[in-house]
Every structure is written in structure tokens, then in C-alpha cells.
Amino acid sequence: MSSFSRSKTKKNKEMSGLLVVGSYIKRNWVVYSAGISLVAAGSLVSAQIPRLLGRFTDSLRNGTLGTSDISGYVWLIVTIGVVRVSAGWCGRILVHRKGRQLTYRLRKELFEKWVTLSPSYYHRNSVGDMISHALSDVEVVRELVSQGINQGASGFAMLLGVIWLMAVHVDWRLTLAGLGPLLFIPLLVKWLGPRIRMQSQRSQEALGAMAQTTEEVIGGIRAVKAFGTEQVVISRFESRVDAIVEEKMHLVHLTALFGSLVPLMVNLGFIFVLAYGGFLVTIKVISLGDFVAFTLYLAMLRQPMEQMGNVLNVVQRSGASLNRIDHLLHVIPEVLDRKAPLQDTPLQGNLQVKGLSFSYSGSNREVLHDISFSVKPGQTLGIIGVMGSGKSTLADLLLRMYDPPEGTVFIDGVDILQFPLARLRDGIAYVPQDGFLFSTTVLENVTFSDEYPDRQKAERCAGITAVHKNIMGFPDQYDTEIGERGVRLSGGQKQRIAIARMIYKDAPFQIMDDSLSAVDTSTERLILNNLRELSKSHPGSQESALKVTLIISHRLSAVQHADEIVVLDDGKIVERGSHLSLIAQGGIYAEQWFMQAGKNEDVDLEASTLEAGRDSSQPDLDIEMEALEAGRLEEAS
């Protein structure tokens, strides 16, 4: 890419960021116009004070100043002061209020954008950087639309008013002498502006890195303490803080240099005015009053020039933050509703997967290959396989966390790509591997899918997952705060509450992704028995009838009662069937079954024994499970 193209792209990004602020100001132009007008009016009125003092000086020198005249000048100056303070205060309140509202709006839009983004985005971007967007970047933008506009309106109005009065009421040559050095300010902006903007971006990135480190350490505090690596993480955090200090000090040096050079130009003008103005007074070209007024005008220029310098600083710093925010707001989610007419009807059941093959974006490796199965309402499908075999990917595709290929996944005979995302996910209750819980009460976690929680229903769902008695033992029972990600709960309690949340949603599809790994065997059996009864409940019961249930697990005891079990290996279905038929096949499933049961004898021999015994009598699976857990393989056979 040529330097011209890079420059053009950079300018386009800057303009795109400024459009965020520009569009907001345009929508609220009435309030901003009123606020800016009031602030500007206060500054213009105050610009009259040097002229009054100049006339006062001439009257005093000529001996024509009486008591009534002095009183009149005093009341004029007091009136000007009251008008300036009142107008400036009202204008600043209006502008600052809109600045706060923009802060709220930007953070709301960022949050709304985050919940629409696909999981792949969060794999590529750190949580700390996104927190920096919502906190630091938005705050910098607020400074631009509140403090920046207030100071800009005040400074610009004062600057124009003073220059006009200097040029009209005082000798124009003296005006040129005083304002000449100010012509160098645009050169300072061109030289230091880009440097300030780039340094501001580096500072925000350093803040994001620190936030990411903080989030990781706090989230993994148990691992930190277990490994005794407190000093390691402290050193890592100190390095992040040192980087922030270094970047911030570079930014301070640049902004301080710019903030010092602007008043320096005003002071140089003041020196020229003292020399040249004194000469003009001595040769009677201007009066002493005009000279006093002019020096006061020039002194008044210092404040607006400093304000304009601050505004330019804020604009340069906010440019980097605006670009970061604008970039995030324009990220297009990888999974979106299709534009074609959609099937916006409630899900009923009947899942079909036909020849599903899937690869992640940017990879040629197929995570899933030619997967086919069907599950009818009231049936349970068990999915097992080693780590990396594609089990969780399959669940993600059913939820459309990633889009499956067209014509491969159907619900009620309709391609799931034809369902609106909200409608599809509303019909699926999902329990993730980690059993994620929110930092709130037990009741709010169980009733997460309901805007108006039903406590009795929540208690019934908790009873189904055998966690109700545990909850009743908590200090505040269902109103107990469980801490960040359920840190105050055991692993088994977290998983059972997460399953209760799934049951509470009462969706026609239930997906459990290895969500019983922290539950003991007897409790697991109780929960699965309850879920089997629930999924085959009849119309008129407290929960909806005939659910489709998918159980993904590495513990075969969790899927042994499933109507069908599929075994995944390297993204392919290598075995499928019922529990007994898979044991009889003597393949991967049978090998894992005997291994988990604690028996290391030859799988083929035991499978043959089981197959021979199937024709005469089919053993009860619960009795078989108890026998295998006890190591009595002969009794199970």
C-alpha cells in the first residue's frame, strides 16, 4: 500500500470516529445550540470590561471623572460579571448533561454490540481491552463533548470578541504586533497533534492490557494461590502498570509542551505590544486609555488561547478513543439472521442432522465430518468422544454460535438457518461445560430466562436436580449471593444449579454439555432419572411435554439410558446404537465402559459374554451399573 493510500485510510478512520460525535450533536442540536450560545454570550459580554477600563483611565487622566461616573462604571462591571457567570453556568450545565447522556448511550451501545458478537470475536480479543473501551475510551469522548465544547465555545467567542474590539477601537498596527506570534499556533497543531493522538492510543492500549491482567488474576485467584505464584502475578501486574506510567508520561510531556507553547505565543505578543504600544503613546498616536485597554485585551487573550489549546489536546486524545469505539461498533457479527423470509414460529421438536461437515473459519481441517442423526420429541441422544472429537462444536452449531452449512441441520423439517436467532435460541435450553453462573442470587440464576421469576417453579426445578436441600441450607436460601461465577459454591452445586436453570426455561430442546462431571454417581443417576421422566411428561403436566434431550459427556454412565448413543472420534461418528448394542460391539464405547467401571480385562471377551447373554435375558441397566461399579463383571454379564 502506498503512503498516499495509508494516509487516506487513516484520515477516513479519523473522520469515521468523529462522525460518532457529530451525529450525536446533530440529533441534539437544540440543546447544544442553546448551551454554546449561552457560554459564548457570557464570554462576549466579559470582553467589554477592558474597553470600560480604558475609558475610565482616560476620564481619570483628563479629570472629568465624578462620583456618579465611578458608580456607573462599578455597576456596569458588576452587571457584566453577573451576566457572564449566569450565562456561562447555564450553558455549561446543558452541555455537560448531554455529555453524560452520551456516556450512557455509548456504553449501552457497546454492551448491546458485545452480546451480538460471535464467540470467535472473544477468542481474538481480550476482556480487558473491551473493558477499557467501555470505561477509559468513553470517558475521553465525554471530555470532548462536554469540557471540550464548553471550553471551545468560551475560548473561541472570547478570542473573536477581543480581536474585533482590538482592531476596531485601537490602532490596527498595534493589533498586528500583538497577534503576530499567534499565527505560529497552527504550525504547533500540525507538528504536535498527530504525536499526541498516537500517544493517546498507546496509553489506552496499555490500560487495556492492565485490565486484562487484572481480570485474569482475579478470575484465576485459586490457581494463583494453589501454585504459590503471588509474586509472579504481582510482578506481571507491576510491569503493566509501569507500561501505563511510561505511556502516560510521554503523553503528559507532549500535552504539557503544547499547553506551554500556546501561552508563550500570547506572551511574545504582549512583549511586542508593551514596546510598540508604549512608543505609540509617547508620540500621541493612541491615548493612555487605549493602551491600557489594549494590554488588558491582550492579557484576556491568554485564557481563550489556553482553552483552545486544551480543546485541541482533547480533540487529539479523543480521536484515538473514538476510532477504537467506532471500530467496535461497526464489527459485523459472523452469525446473523438471514434476509430471506424467516420461519418465526415456536420450536416443537424433531431434530435432524444430515451429512454435517464443518470447519472453523481460517482452517482447512474438518472438525466434524458427515455427521447424521435424528432425535424425536421424548427421545434422548447421548454423544461421547475423546477431547477434541467435536462434541462441543456440535452443540455450538445447534445453537448457531457458528453457522452450520446450509441444508445440514433441521428442526421440525426447517433448516435452522431459516429461524430467527432469537426464536431458535428461545427454544433451546443449554448447560455449558463450566456450568457458568452469574454474580447474583441463587434464585436469579435459576430463573435467568424469566423476566418475572417464579420462586415455586425454581424450587421445583432445584428439587429435580437434587440441589434444593443444599440451597435451603444457605444463609439466605434462594436469596443467597453466590459470588463471582458462583465462587461460593462447590463444583457439583454449580452444575446442579445450572441444570435447574435449564429445566426452568422449559424449552423443547435440552442440551447438556458434560454438565455432570462434578456430580457424584448416585446424584447423577437421580438427576438423569428425573430428566428422563421430565422429557417424556404428558401434556397437562407442569412442564411442557416430550422434550428432545442431548447429553454430551465423557462419563458413559450419563448416557447409558439414552435412546441412541453416538461415539465421535476425530469429528466422525465411528459407533452408534444403544448402550447394550455398543457394549456388544466391543469397540471404543465398550472399552471406555469397562475402563470407567474399573475393570481391565479383555474387552472382546467380556463383550462376547454380554452378547451371548442378551438373547436369553436382558439385564436391567441400573443393576448392571451397580455391579460394574463394584467390580463384579461376572454378575453384570
Burial class of 538 by CB neighbour count within 10 A (0 to 12, 13 to 18, 19+): exposed
User: Looking at the predicted structure, is the pLDDT value of residue 430 above 80?
Assistant: yes
* CA distance linking residue 56 with residue 73, whole number of Å: 8
Q: Are 534 and 514 in contact (CB under 8 A)?
A: no
User: Looking at the predicted structure, is the pLDDT value of residue 5 above 50?
Assistant: no
Assigned superfamily of 343-427+508-514+529-576: P-loop containing nucleotide triphosphate hydrolases (3.40.50.300)
Q: Are 300 and 158 in contact (CB under 8 A)?
A: yes
Q: Are 583 and 591 in contact (CB under 8 A)?
A: no
Helical segments of 330-361, H only:
none
**What mean pLDDT is predicted for residues 568-586?**
86
Q: What pLDDT band is residue 7 in, cutting at 50, 70 and 90?
A: very low
* Alpha carbon 332 to its chain's center: 15
Q: What percent of the chain has pLDDT over 90?
A: 0
Topology match between the domains 14-329 and 343-427+508-514+529-576? no
- pLDDT of 536 reads 64
Burial class of 626 by CB neighbour count within 10 A (0 to 12, 13 to 18, 19+): middle
* CA distance linking residue 233 with residue 162, whole number of Å: 57
Q: Are 514 and 475 in contact (CB under 8 A)?
A: no
CATH fold for the domain made of 431-506: Rossmann fold (3.40.50)
Distances (CA, A) of 422 to 56, 343, 398, 410: 75, 11, 13, 16
Q: Are 521 and 539 in contact (CB under 8 A)?
A: no
Q: What pLDDT band is residue 428 in, cutting at 50, 70 and 90?
A: confident
**What mean pLDDT is predicted for residues 240-253?**
82
Nearest alpha carbon to residue 441 among 428, 429, 453, 456 = 453
- pLDDT of 596 reads 75
Q: Between 125 and 636, where is the model more confident?
A: 125
* CA distance linking residue 318 with residue 201, whole number of Å: 9
Nearest alpha carbon to residue 583 among 528, 534, 530, 625 = 625
Nearest alpha carbon to residue 485 among 430, 523, 435 = 435
Nearest alpha carbon to residue 87 among 19, 25, 153, 135 = 153
- pLDDT of 454 reads 85
* CA distance linking residue 528 with residue 121, whole number of Å: 35
What is the CATH code for 14-329? 1.20.1560.10
Q: What pLDDT band is residue 617 in, cutting at 50, 70 and 90?
A: very low
Nearest alpha carbon to residue 557 among 585, 590, 524 = 524
E runs forming strands in 132-287:
none
**Average pLDDT value for the chain:** 76
Output DSSP code: residue 418. G
User: Looking at the predicted structure, is the pLDDT value of residue 610 above 50?
Assistant: no
User: Looking at the predicted structure, is the pLDDT value of residue 629 above 50?
Assistant: no
pLDDT tens string 129-142: 777 777 777 887 88
* CA distance linking residue 633 with residue 618, whole number of Å: 15
* CA distance linking residue 39 with residue 95, whole number of Å: 10
User: Looking at the predicted structure, is the pLDDT value of residue 616 above 70?
Assistant: no
Q: What pLDDT band is residue 612 in, cutting at 50, 70 and 90?
A: very low
User: Looking at the predicted structure, is the pLDDT value of residue 628 above 80?
Assistant: no
Beta bridge mates, 511: 430, 550
Q: If you write DSSP's letter for every residue of 201-232 in order, what string do you get?
A: HHHHHHHHHHHHHHHHHHHTHHHHHHHT-HHH
**What mean pLDDT is predicted for residues 479-507?**
82
Cα radius of gyration rounded to whole Å, the chain: 37
C-alpha cell at 470: 443444599
- pLDDT of 232 reads 77
* CA distance linking residue 243 with residue 251, whole number of Å: 12
C-alpha cell at 368: 466434524
Q: Are 637 and 613 in contact (CB under 8 A)?
A: yes
* Alpha carbon 430 to its chain's center: 23
pTM of structure: 0.66
- pLDDT of 17 reads 60
User: Looking at the predicted structure, is the pLDDT value of residue 606 above 70?
Assistant: no
Read off φ and ψ for residue 583, nearest 5 degrees.
-65, -40
Three-state secondary-structure class, residue 389: coil
pLDDT tens string 581-602: 888 888 888 888 888 776 444 4
- Enumerate residues 6+ apart whose C-beta is below 8 A from 447: 453, 454, 457, 458, 501, 504
Q: If you write DSSP's letter for every residue of 17-28 in order, what string do you get?
A: HHHHHHHHHHHT
Element of type H or E holding 431: strand 428-431
> Which has the minimum average pLDDT: 125-129, 199-203, 477-481, 530-534?
125-129
Domain ranges of the chain: 14-329, 343-427+508-514+529-576, 431-506, 578-637
